[in-house]
Amino acid sequence: MQYQSGRPINDWRALANPYKEGDDRHPRLGHPTGVVDTAGTLHVFVRNAGRGLHLRHEDKDGKWHPWKDLRGSALHEGATAGVTSKGRIGVLAPSDKPLHHWQQSVCGGEFERLEDVHVTMVPGSGVALETSGDQLTYYVKDASSSGLLAIRPDGSLVQIGGAPAGGAPSALRTLIDGQDCTILTHRGLADSPIFGAFVTNTEELGVQWAEVGHPCLGDPALVLDAHGRITLAMIAADGSPHITRQSSSSGLTLGQWHRL
């Protein structure tokens, strides 16, 4: 962990295992997913050997609480975690059954199991984004179609298209010509980044998708730079990192790709 910008990265620290060594469940953990709340507390989620969900997190002094079993059943890898501007963490986990959903009622509070979401999500294909005050929308690949699906805070589902080849999308919100917009990107079927935009919370009106750049390795990523410009990054087929930025303060035109 790096506790302050410009400071060195601390030494690696093992978070241990919910099961003791020698227990046949010890090696059967899934891949961890981490998220930091607005208080700066890191939470780590992992699918356990019984295919439920375990959580471990820091306390306010930087010490780690023991692993806690959040229950759940028949979970797959690839849980999606997000945090709202008020610090509430939400977790969506794919399963043989409907999607499992957990949410904190307050920042730092206990995780409550919410109503399941009746969608078959491709494991590891989700991203969470705050799309209204203290509320998360999840964007996931729907296993029953070729596109992405928006899972809104009220539980409603909206097909939004796209053509993801695998992996997780990246998402952000920003103002474009004075409108609150959501931007998504994912790796497409031709391995190039696919870029989409729409007015936030109006997915049902359609998403404008466009293929940008050249084939990439892994998932492309979105971020706003220090000037508030949309910045899209990818790893090209030769392993080199490339970025493109919004070319002007108005509109949604991306500039030329630059190799870093």
pLDDT value for 13: 86
Residue 21 maps to a domain: yes
Cβ burial, residue 102 (10 Å; 0-12/13-18/19+): buried
Residue 68 maps to a domain: yes
* Mean pLDDT across 143-169: 92
Residue 95 maps to a domain: yes
Strand order in the sheet with 80-83: 80-83, 89-93, 100-104, 111-113
How far is C-alpha 2 from the chain's CA centre?
A: 21
Residue 249 has pLDDT above 80, yes or no: no
Residue 257 maps to a domain: no
Residue 168 maps to a domain: no
When divided into structural domains, the chain yields a total of 1
pLDDT tens-digit series, residues 96-117:
989 999 999 999 999 999 999 9
- Could you tell me the residue range of the domain that residue 15 belongs to? 1-118
In the structure, what pLDDT confidence band is assigned to residue 79 with cuts at 50, 70 and 90? very high
pLDDT value for 248: 80
pLDDT value for 61: 81
| CATH number for 109 | 2.120.10.10
* Mean pLDDT across 184-211: 94
pLDDT value for 133: 93
* Mean pLDDT across 129-134: 96
pLDDT value for 1: 81
Residue 146 maps to a domain: no
pLDDT value for 5: 84
Tokens found for residue 257? 């790709």
Residue 132 maps to a domain: no
pLDDT value for 166: 82
In the structure, what pLDDT confidence band is assigned to residue 150 with cuts at 50, 70 and 90? very high
Listed in sequence order, the residues at least 6 apart from 178 whose beta carbon sits closer than 8 Å to its beta carbon are none
Strand order in the sheet with 42-47: 33-36, 42-47, 53-57, 68-71
pLDDT value for 214: 85
**Around Cβ 158, how many Cβ atoms within 10 Å?**
17
45-52: Cβ within 8 A, 24+ apart: 45/70, 45/79, 45/81, 45/91, 47/75, 47/76, 47/77, 47/79, 47/93, 48/18, 49/19, 49/25, 50/25, 51/75, 51/76
* Mean pLDDT across 156-175: 93
pLDDT tens-digit series, residues 30-58:
999 999 999 999 999 999 999 999 999 98
CB 251 within 8 A of CB 176: yes
pLDDT value for 196: 94
pTM here?
A: 0.94
pLDDT value for 23: 94
Residue 47 maps to a domain: yes
The whole-chain average pLDDT of the chain stands at 93
Q: For residue 193, which phi and psi values (nearest 5 degrees)?
A: -65, 135
